């Protein structure tokens, strides 16, 4: 089944989209999916949904960018779910500035998530945060969040190697909160 959408309205922009949707024995496959906005933003991905106990969803080959900018150069998510729980086995995106990954799940009133960033190029943050003077370094971080009947907990660990900010330089900065 060829899926073609002339105008898909989103909060970001209006997209035209196309892909091939196939239905098989207990699974659905979306291949060759491409969405393009009027401003030139392009999204590519493929997906597989498998019915079972639990159901499984795999989205692969995620790319988001435009002719001048690459926002996400690759990515994937694998999750399973049933009527009461969602488990994210693996979710990751590769950006030009580093790798972000997520694991975790929701089960009733309980949740736990681990978010991490690796090989993050901090030189891009200066412009984003409008900081005067140059900022650079390679960053890594991990965040763990848990919610349950006893309340919520969060933990942040991070390290910046070779940080500079204007005239300030150091070997590293370590955060453990």
- 11-24 pLDDT, tens digit per residue, is 878 999 999 999 99
32 touches 43 (CB < 8 A):
no
Q: Is the peptide bond before 46 cis (omega within 30 degrees of 0)?
A: no
Q: Which residues contact 32 (CB under 8 A, 6 or more apart)?
A: 18, 19, 20, 46
Under DSSP, the state recorded for 13 is -
As a whole number of angstroms, the distance between CA 43 and CA 133 comes to 34
| pLDDT tens digits, 141-155 | 999 999 998 899 999
* Percent of the chain residues topping a pLDDT of 70: 94
Please name the helix (run of DSSP H) or strand (run of DSSP E) that holds residue 166, with its range, or none. none
As a whole number of angstroms, the distance between CA 118 and CA 7 comes to 37
As a whole number of angstroms, the distance between CA 45 and CA 23 comes to 17
Return the pLDDT at 84.
85
83 touches 95 (CB < 8 A):
no
- Residue (of 34, 82, 35) closest to 57 by Cα position: 82
Grouping H, G, I as helix, E, B as strand and the rest as coil, residue 162 is strand
What is the band of 120 on the pLDDT scale with cuts at 50, 70, 90? confident
Q: pTM score, two decimals?
A: 0.76
Tell me the β-bridge partners of 103: 114
What is the band of 86 on the pLDDT scale with cuts at 50, 70, 90? very high
Return the pLDDT at 129.
63
Q: What is the largest CA-CA distance in the chain?
A: 63
Grouping H, G, I as helix, E, B as strand and the rest as coil, residue 154 is strand
Whole-angstrom distance between the N-terminal and C-terminal Cα of the chain? 51
Residue 94, CB half-sphere, CA atoms under 13 Å: how many? 8
């Amino acid at each position: 089944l060829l899926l073609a959408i002339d105008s898909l309205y989103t909060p970001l922009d209006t997209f035209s989209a196309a892909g091939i949707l196939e239905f098989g024995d207990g699974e659905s496959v979306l291949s060759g999916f491409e969405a393009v906005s009027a401003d030139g933003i392009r999204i590519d991905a493929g997906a597989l949904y498998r019915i079972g106990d639990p159901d499984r969803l795999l989205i692969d080959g995620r790319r988001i960018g435009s002719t001048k900018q690459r926002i996400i150069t690759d990515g994937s998510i694998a999750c399973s779910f049933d009527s009461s729980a969602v488990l994210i086995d693996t979710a990751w995106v590769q950006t030009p500035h580093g790798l972000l990954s997520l694991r975790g799940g929701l089960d009733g009133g309980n949740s736990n998530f681990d978010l991490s960033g690796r090989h993050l190029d901090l030189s891009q943050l200066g412009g984003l945060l409008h900081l005067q003077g140059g900022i650079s370094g390679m960053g890594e971080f991990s965040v763990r969040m848990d919610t349950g009947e006893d309340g919520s907990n969060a933990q942040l660990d991070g390290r910046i190697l070779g940080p500079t900010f204007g005239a300030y330089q150091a070997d590293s900065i370590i955060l453990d909160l």
